[in-house]
Chain A
């Protein structure tokens, strides 16, 4: 088990290095995308800055809490898809029968397949997340350590969620539209304060759209240094990941080969 983990970490670091170098071949395009994503996220932070200038408190949340939320969501999303970029491509890989090539490797299919691509703009999210957290929130060592741990939890959640919704293609055929809409809804809810939602919508945020594990539990853990909230956030992320992995491997039994000639460089 231990040596298996070490072996996987070595594989992951090799993929990260190779994928990054592939992006750096088109350095101008890569940098433009990274900078654009940082600007994109900064626009949202500016919106919240302007909003809180006019209305200083929103049901107990201040501008610092919303910046923490954006830092958490962006870093988690960025971390997830710089390393496991194929989580965003799962639907098309399944629909186009492109899993064949990954099945030929002597590695566990899903964790290997997810490493195959790096999402360029996710670097922008990652840099933005740490940048705004350090610059605007100015955390002490304990908060920074907890923030770092929780971003890994949020990254796990995003990978699990994307595997789950991407795997729907095994059952529904081409579900690209549904996957996209579902992902957009999850991302949108993840970047708004949890205090805005109540009743049935709140229930949705811990089930079908598990944004509560991004926009409430980790933020509450950081606000009040609450280990209970931190543990619940991690438990929620691991649950979503396990459900995603289960749905993927159940769906894999329905997979038909694409009979596609492919070469990976």
Chain B
């Protein structure tokens, strides 16, 4: 079995394993429904109060679809940092190292498999909520293709950041605090709660350049507002961020693995 098919198989197994616990995965949909309903109310009142047709270039319907996509991405995130943290703390990482596969790549493909199932379900629920309360928005085949091109890169980028946080377990007593800070930074700086266009104008160039926006704002914006040049810029930013984070992960992982002491038994 060559490397690619080996890791693809790992990803598929993770996806199938998630499908086996469909009820548990689906129960998370209740929270998605609640949060989207609250956001709908918040923005419905805001649009009515300001008497605006569009805010940040989005209509109310586009705003709810945008938030549906950002929430679906955030809520589909597997607990990568926690799992890596546990592998480090329990010593399970030493066992993984003797297997004929790369531990980071194994984690990456497992995450992608799990996340695909979770995101699929979340986006189905978010679409139902959006259709129920605000109806459809104009979607094009090209727009959906562009969205599908940037989404996996957003997942990879998020994986690299959370994997890095998990590796922190080699030096820290507990990485859950660090993970919480990362996820909250992604929420606010990535445009999960409010599109970047509605944030102060002088912040926007910095926020657009940060990797957080490439995970949430970029894909969601592209979904509701398909634009080829925006997609090109986003792919470029995602590519640069992935390269930088991959180098960082490789350096930290190499240093961390040297700290492993395995005992026989």
Contact = CB atoms under 8 A, between A and B. Distances in A.
Contacts, number: 83
A55 B173 contact: no
Interface in B15-56: 24, 27-28, 30-31, 34-35, 37-38, 41-42, 45-46, 49-50
Contacts of B69: none
Given A181-B31, A196-B45, A51 B194 contact: yes
B177 A55 contact: no
Interface majority SS on A: helix, strand, loop or mixed? helix
Interface string A169-196: 0000000011001001100110010011
B247 interface: no
Contacts of B194: 47, 50-51
A55 B55 CA distance: 11
B117 interface: no
B172 A58 contact: no
A28 B172 contact: yes
Contact of B177 (A35, A57, A59): A35
Q: How large is the interface on B (under 10, 10 to 19, 20 to 34, 35 or more residues)?
A: 20 to 34
Given A32-B172, A181-B30, A58 B45 contact: yes
Contacts of B35: 188
B39 to A, nearest CB: 9
Task: Specify which of B24, B184, B185 lies most central, judged by the most chain A CB atoms within 10 Å of its CB.
Answer: B184
A28 B177 CA distance: 11
A188 B193 contact: no
A22 to B, nearest CB: 14
Nearest to A27: B173
A254 interface: no
A33 B27 contact: no
B173 A197 contact: no
B226 to A, nearest CB: 26
Contacts of B45: 58-59, 195-196
B200 interface: yes
Contacts of B50: 55
Interface stretch (A36-44, A93-101, A216-224): A36-44
Interface of B: 24, 27-28, 30-31, 34-35, 37-38, 41-42, 45-46, 49-50, 172-174, 176-178, 180-181, 184-185, 187-188, 193-194, 198-200
24 contacts: A28-B173, A29-B173, A29-B174, A29-B177, A32-B177, A33-B174, A33-B176, A33-B177, A36-B177, A40-B181, A47-B188, A50-B198, A54-B198, A55-B46, A177-B27, A181-B30, A184-B34, A185-B31, A188-B35, A188-B38, A189-B38, A192-B38, A195-B45, A196-B45
Given A26-B174, A32-B173, A36-B176, 6 more contacts: A40-B180, A47-B188, A53-B200, A181-B28, A185-B31, A195-B45
